[in-house]
Structure 1
Amino acid sequence: MYLYEFYRLFKKTLKNLYPEPKELETLFFLLTTHIFQCDQTNILLQLGNKEKINFLIYKKLIKKLWELKKNRPIQYVIGKAYFFDMEFIVNEKVFIPRPETEELVLWILQEHKSHNFVQIFDIGTGSGCISIILKKRKLGMIHAIDFSHEILDIARKNAKLHNVEISFEKVNLLKEMIPTSKMNNNSVSIIVSNPPYIRLSERKFLHPNIIQYEPIQALFVPDEDPFIFYKKIFFCIKKKFAGIVYVYFEINQFIYLDVIELLSKIGFLNIEIRKDFQGYSRMIRAVYYAYNKRIL
């Protein structure tokens, strides 16, 4: 088979799942550049020159195409995702990094260019993409936290891939406290998190490939307690932190006003909401002044 023939088959097979031509084309190039281990220009040349595909390569392409037809996200199909134009290893154990999270990290980098933070806590690190980008920018000591060894193993592989040193710690946030080293009233900390925040009743609004393949525990919260993870983080801040604590969270755009109200009641100041590239209120930053706290 020629590559251009596979291109036609690819579009025909997936056009109902991905009706947007640009999205379909992006998927095609992500798959083929991965399989051929080349850049997009090389694929375009092969298409233009009507080059034949090696039989073993063709078998790999067909196998991956059927995975895509079953709604499996392209990132899981090829085993990698891109974040800040850097490659990250991913599988079904971790949430796929999103452009909205890039915007959250960029917000942190914009506001803290000159700070040397004592500690940064990435709660629910997943692939480790947030921690790794922040470490690359030398903001301070990073504590990357998640609840399973399997998830942390993926994050460690990504840290090794990008040659950064990060402290990885297994913590079940709903049962345990955020581990902190000694702090004082001069301490400055950042807590960044993209915790589960989609209410179960909102499940019907998600794309099927998210529901079928991405980790459920990284997505959903009970309708009756949608702020369960935020509240646990706030409890840890009040109990264990001293000095100035900045929090940066991704949030549910449908209940962002409730998040503001919750932060205000607890005592957070300088609360700001930002919209993502799609115009949804999806990010929040706030500051807590935890002076004169007894560290447990």
Structure 2
Amino acid sequence: MINKQNKYFFLISIIMVYINEFYYCFKKKLNPLYSEKELDNIFFLLMTHILKCDKVTVLFLLKKKKKISFIIYKELMKKLWELKNNRPIQYVIEHAYFFGMKFIVNEKVFIPRPETEELVHWILQENYNEDPYKDNHVQIFDIGTGSGCVAITLKKRKPKIGHIYAIDYSNEIISIAKKNKILHNVIIYLMKLDVLNDLISYCPKTKNNSISIVVSNPPYIRLSEKKILHPNIIQYEPYRALFVPNHDPLVFYKKISFWIKKRFNGIVYIYFEINQFIYLDVLNFLRNIGFFNIEIKKDYQGIFRMIRAIYYGKK
């Protein structure tokens, strides 16, 4: 005999809703918050996540005006409410894509961005050895690893790299990077170190003929720039991964650069993501403290977003 609760679940499981109805509701609720292109991207990210399918399937369902179960509809409406409250889609579905790979994310880590993909692409383009089979002589330090997307991508694309160290300041962040490390089945070394307080005391193993790469997308948004950010960034993404004080916006660049000068032997290539409004300050700082071959690049939006410099360590 079917009890009332089972009967309820049976009934809602057979109730169907047109997928197009949700699509129109989705657009109407979020239209004030996002552009048309952003809305489409968010919609397909949500639908492919909930329906466990690809974008082509979702397009087919829309074109044929197919129905979805009421249970799925309820789940979609719940996610829509989160989006309406400015929660980023990546946190809503608990993953983001970087270099075409899926990474677990939550509010403890910064959401990977296309600009950072460009920074990683720059690193991958460089030839650090005349013999590409000597990649095992290169070691990489990813400072402020967050989800681990930079370190993991570099290891996936350059599996012969000897050692990759992914560094961040809290166990909660490191645990997310560890999950992604396991997800992508790579060997990287996760380390808990606070850049502002602990990094200077960490002494990596380097030799006079060694090659090291230091890459970082550190906090670089001045507090005075908060007003130009989208509300979902301010409300949900980790404060410590975003903002620096107005009076010392280069604080993280300074800490990392002086650590390199004090602790490294051999050649060090340093790659930073930078604030478009103070890129000349970063460039001049690196030049003044003894970095060479400094190059600055624009991102896909035509904004000065990344810088590379070389430091020749103690002989």
TM-score grouping bracket, smaller chain normalisation: over 0.9
Deviation (angstroms), 1:103 = 0.2
In the TM superposition, what whole-angstrom CA distance separates every residue of 1:166-192 from its partner, at most 9, and x where no partner exists? 100000111112534432110110000
The residue that corresponds to 1:34 in the other structure is 49
**Consecutive aligned runs of 4 or more in structure 1 exceeding 6 Å deviation:** none
- Pairs within 5 Å for 1:1-296: 1-18=17-34, 20-112=35-127, 114=132, 116=135, 117-136=137-156, 137-138=158-159, 139-177=161-199, 179-292=202-315
**Bigger-Rg structure (1/2):** 2
RMSD: 1.1
Judge conservation of contact 2:168–2:193 (CA < 8 Å) in 1. yes
Deviation (angstroms), 1:37 = 0.2
Report sequence identity in percent: 66
In the TM superposition, what whole-angstrom CA distance separates every residue of 1:20-73 from its partner, at most 9, and x where no partner exists? 222111111110010000001111111122221111111110000000000000
The residue that corresponds to 2:3 in the other structure is none
- Aligned letter for 2:304? S
Deviation (angstroms), 1:112 = 3.0
In the TM superposition, what whole-angstrom CA distance separates every residue of 1:100-122 from its partner, at most 9, and x where no partner exists? 00000000000037352432100
Whole-Å separation in 1 of the counterparts to 2:124 and 2:242 = 25
TM-score by length of 1: 0.96
In structure 2, the gaps of 5 or more residues are 1-16
- Aligned letter for 2:22? F
Judge conservation of contact 2:299–2:305 (CA < 8 Å) in 1. yes
- Aligned letter for 1:50? K
Whole-Å separation in 1 of the counterparts to 2:220 and 2:150 = 18
In the TM superposition, what whole-angstrom CA distance separates every residue of 1:186-232 from its partner, at most 9, and x where no partner exists? 01100000000111111111111000000000000011111111111
- Aligned letter for 1:284? I
In structure 1, the residue corresponding to 2:199 is in which secondary structure?
coil
Judge conservation of contact 2:267–2:312 (CA < 8 Å) in 1. yes
- Aligned letter for 2:246? D
- Aligned letter for 1:161? L
- Aligned letter for 1:262? F
Deviation (angstroms), 1:140 = 3.0
Deviation (angstroms), 1:291 = 2.3
The residue that corresponds to 2:6 in the other structure is none
Moved more, 110-119 or 34-43: 110-119
Whole-Å separation in 2 of the counterparts to 1:100 and 1:279 = 11
- Aligned letter for 1:261? N
- Aligned letter for 1:145? I
The residue that corresponds to 2:11 in the other structure is none
In structure 2, the residue corresponding to 1:201 is in which secondary structure?
helix
Whole-Å separation in 2 of the counterparts to 1:132 and 1:180 = 22
Whole-Å separation in 2 of the counterparts to 1:238 and 1:50 = 62
